[in-house]
């Protein structure tokens, strides 16, 4: 009896230890997402809201998307992050910690400039801030893949995505609400403190051994293997789809704060609450829907559903342009639909990326995936400014809805796991060599 009681107690304690360990891993997965979600918005929609509030030209605001070009180019230094660690650190998280502290300093500097009278200087410093932000996401992407090794990818992707969205609320919605009551200098000072505190949090993240594969230390070899993996999976169809899938979002979403501030005449507080707080809640709903749909329908049909909903939201924005303003309930409804669709698309793509990367090349491969889907956001967003300036907001939203069609057409050529249906002939020797 005593023996059985002891075995039962031991079994219960073992289960409790496993559950505690699992909860701890979920918390860190969430915190990694939080750290990844905070930087980008500060040089994206928040920066555009600052320039809009300072009465800078809509064309200049459209070109502000190029400030974040380092998020596209981070694949260039991805292999360096994968293979080396900074002095005094034992894993890739060291790069994230250094980048957090560096970004915190530059955010404080950024707040001292005036976008209207010091446009060039403000943009230059914002580019430096964006560079350190891209280093944070690059390092944490690589750390996250190593962190979830052997675990359920979709579940951990969900927790990370929740943290990511909360990070966007903090540096997107919260900052706009602050800006309605305080100066932008104060806003970026607070943002600097937040980023620095997150860097301190990452100092306590679980240690993960940094493994160097001597065969992969060659820069060219690393890049070739990473590119070949993407091409082999879905050929040019997948590559073209990943480039085009975010074009509609690039055209429409990057200027939404400007649309709400200038066309709809909403306050900064209202814009912050609608686009970030309500928007992020809708994103999380989209996340939950995506995780369920991926289990039922896999990647392809989940993306189709997300794209259809997104096209519908663009047409609703078009309709909004012809309704009496301000129509706040209608704006909130459209924001919910729009962000649910983006939550579905983003979560599905993120889960797909995580399932494809090689652990030892995770930072490089994830940055290449980001390059493909981020290209449209950087290079199509400036076009949105010209469309609005010359043809109006109605044309922008109509174009955003129509541009979904090419992405849908490309999806029909892929199977449910986004693999090319009829694979082109390949050289078996080369394929084997690079596995």
In the chain, where are the structural domains located? 2-433
The 10s digit of each residue's pLDDT in 260-275 is 988 888 888 888 888 8
**Residue range 106-114: mean pLDDT, rounded:** 96
Structure tokens at 402: 């129509």
Confidence of residue 95 (pLDDT cuts 50, 70, 90): very high
The 10s digit of each residue's pLDDT in 393-411 is 999 999 999 999 999 998 8
Per DSSP, the residues of 293-339 read HHHHHHHHHHHHHHHHHHHHHHHHHHHHTTS-S--HHHHHHHHHHHH
| Distance separating alpha carbons of residues 385 and 388, to the nearest angstrom | 5
Which DSSP state fits 414? B
**Residue range 145-153: mean pLDDT, rounded:** 69
> Is residue 85 scored above 90 in pLDDT?
no
- CA distances 12 to 2, 8, 9, 184, Å, are 15, 6, 5, 54
> Which pLDDT value is given to residue 435?
30
Question: By the 8 A CB rule, do 41 and 218 touch?
Answer: no
| Distance separating alpha carbons of residues 321 and 323, to the nearest angstrom | 6
**Residue range 423-434: mean pLDDT, rounded:** 37
The 10s digit of each residue's pLDDT in 297-309 is 888 999 999 999 9
> Which pLDDT value is given to residue 21?
56
Question: By the 8 A CB rule, do 332 and 264 touch?
Answer: no
Question: By the 8 A CB rule, do 16 and 117 touch?
Answer: no
CATH class of 2-433: mainly alpha
Confidence of residue 217 (pLDDT cuts 50, 70, 90): low
The 10s digit of each residue's pLDDT in 356-388 is 766 666 667 777 887 888 887 777 778 888 898
**Residue range 82-93: mean pLDDT, rounded:** 83
> Which pLDDT value is given to residue 425?
45
Which DSSP state fits 424? P
Q: Is the previous residue joined to 326 through a cis bond, with omega within 30 degrees of 0?
A: yes
């Amino acid at each position: 009896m005593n023996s059985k009681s002891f075995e039962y107690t031991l079994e219960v304690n073992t289960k409790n230890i496993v559950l505690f360990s699992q909860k701890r891993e979920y918390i860190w997965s969430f915190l990694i997402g939080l750290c990844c979600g905070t930087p980008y918005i500060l040089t994206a929609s928040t920066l555009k809201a600052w320039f809009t509030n300072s009465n800078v030209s809509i064309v200049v605001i459209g070109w502000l998307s190029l400030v974040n070009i380092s998020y596209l180019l981070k694949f260039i230094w991805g292999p360096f992050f994968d293979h080396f660690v900074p002095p005094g650190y034992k894993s890739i998280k060291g790069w994230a910690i250094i980048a957090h502290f560096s970004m915190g300093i530059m955010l404080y500097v950024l707040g001292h400039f005036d976008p209207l009278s010091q446009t060039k200087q403000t943009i230059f410093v914002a580019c430096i801030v964006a560079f350190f932000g891209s280093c944070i996401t690059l390092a944490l992407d690589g750390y996250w893949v190593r962190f979830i090794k052997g675990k359920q990818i979709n579940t951990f992707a969900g927790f990370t995505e929740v943290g990511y969205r909360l990070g966007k609320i903090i540096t997107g919605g919260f900052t706009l609400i602050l800006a309605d009551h305080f100066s932008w200098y104060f806003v970026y000072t607070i943002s600097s403190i937040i980023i620095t505190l997150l860097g301190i949090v990452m100092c306590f993240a679980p240690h993960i051994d940094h493994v160097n594969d001597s065969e992969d230390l060659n820069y060219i070899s690393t890049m070739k293997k990473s590119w070949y993996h993407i091409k082999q999976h879905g050929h040019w169809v997948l590559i073209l789809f990943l480039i085009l899938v975010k074009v509609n979002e690039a055209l429409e979403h990057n200027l939404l704060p400007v649309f709400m501030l200038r066309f709809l005449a909403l306050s900064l507080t209202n814009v912050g609450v609608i686009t970030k707080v309500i928007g992020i809640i809708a994103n999380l709903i989209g996340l939950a829907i995506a995780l369920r749909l991926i289990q039922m329908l896999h990647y392809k049909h989940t993306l189709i559903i997300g794209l259809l909903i997104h096209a519908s939201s663009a047409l609703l924005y078009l309709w909004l342009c012809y309704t009496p303003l301000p129509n706040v309930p209608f704006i909130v409804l459209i924001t919910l639909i729009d962000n649910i669709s983006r939550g579905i698309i983003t979560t599905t793509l993120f889960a797909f990326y995580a399932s494809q990367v090689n652990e030892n090349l995770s930072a490089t491969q994830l940055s290449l995936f980001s390059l493909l889907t981020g290209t449209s956001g950087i290079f199509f967003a400036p076009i949105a400014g010209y469309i609005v300036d010359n043809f109006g907001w109605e044309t922008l939203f109509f174009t955003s809805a129509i541009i979904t069609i090419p992405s849908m057409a490309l999806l029909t050529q892929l199977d449910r796991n986004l693999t090319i249906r009829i694979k082109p002939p390949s050289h078996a020797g080369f394929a084997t060599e690079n596995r």
